[in-house]
């Protein structure tokens, strides 16, 4: 009698797998985000930067959609005050289309120019030009990478066409 190891696993028969709470997910920002371009409540798009696996199974595919929400935003202001931006990460999409809740926060602050503004105002007391100087917007460039974690255990249904099977030797 000859047996073959053909890489069949429990999940290849249409079962559920648990993506555990705290699993790391690396993501990249799709478009530039700025305190001058966005407003609180805006959705921010990310893509997953590498496959999230459990053994041989890919549960979240590289390139999958992920999102965050602009939670706090302060535009740059006069007298050199910098902009501020906070994004709360929301979810990533699993291979079966299910939204996987994720957890993480991005905080970014632009460059303050308060001292420059006040210094120029003192030097040029007659013309308070320094009061017109503005700080920089808080900006995250496209491609900015961040690491999130799953927010809870998530059951993902896996069927035959979603299970990558390793090339196994036949003997």
Q: What is the pLDDT of residue 14?
A: 60
Of the candidates 72, 70, 60, 64, the residue with the CA atom closest to the CA atom of residue 20: 60
Q: How far apart are CA 102 and CA 49, in angstroms?
A: 15
More confident residue, 75 or 105: 105
Q: What is the pLDDT of residue 56?
A: 86
Written as six digits, the tokens of 141 are 């460039």
Evaluate whether 110 touches 80 at the Cβ level (below 8 Å): no
Taking residues 22-37, report their average pLDDT. Answer: 91
Question: Could you report the per-residue pLDDT of 1-29, keeping only the tens digit for each?
Answer: 333 333 334 444 567 899 999 999 999 99
115 has a pLDDT exceeding 70: no
Question: Could you report the per-residue pLDDT of 120-170, keeping only the tens digit for each?
Answer: 444 555 445 444 555 577 788 999 999 999 999 999 887 644 444 444 443
Domains of the chain: which residue ranges? 20-153
Q: What is the pLDDT of residue 83?
A: 76
Distance set, CA 34 to CA 20, 23, 73, 92, 95 (Å)? 33, 28, 9, 22, 30
Question: Could you report the per-residue pLDDT of 39-98, keeping only the tens digit for each?
Answer: 999 999 999 999 999 888 899 999 999 999 999 877 654 445 667 888 999 999 999 999
Which one of 3.10.450, 1.10.260, 1.10.3470, 2.40.128 gives the CATH number of domain 20-153? 2.40.128
Collapsing DSSP states into helix, strand and coil, what is residue 46?
Answer: strand
Q: What is the pLDDT of residue 114?
A: 43
Global model pTM greater than 0.75 = no
């Amino acid at each position: 009698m000859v047996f073959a190891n053909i890489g069949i696993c429990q999940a290849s028969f249409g079962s559920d797998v648990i993506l555990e709470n705290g699993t790391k997910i690396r993501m990249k920002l799709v478009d530039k985000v700025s305190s001058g371009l966005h407003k609180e409540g805006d959705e921010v798009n990310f893509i997953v930067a590498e496959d999230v696996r459990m053994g041989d199974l890919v549960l979240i595919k590289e390139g999958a959609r992920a999102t965050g929400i602009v939670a706090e935003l302060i535009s740059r202001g006069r007298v050199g005050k910098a902009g501020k931006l906070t994004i709360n990460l929301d979810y990533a999409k699993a291979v079966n289309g299910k939204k996987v809740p994720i957890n993480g926060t991005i905080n970014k602050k632009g460059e303050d120019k308060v001292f420059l503004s006040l210094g120029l105002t003192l030097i040029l007391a007659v013309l308070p030009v320094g009061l017109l100087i503005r700080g920089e917007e808080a900006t995250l460039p496209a491609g900015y990478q961040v690491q999130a974690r799953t927010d809870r255990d998530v059951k993902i249904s896996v069927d035959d066409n979603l299970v990558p099977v390793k090339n196994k030797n036949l003997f």
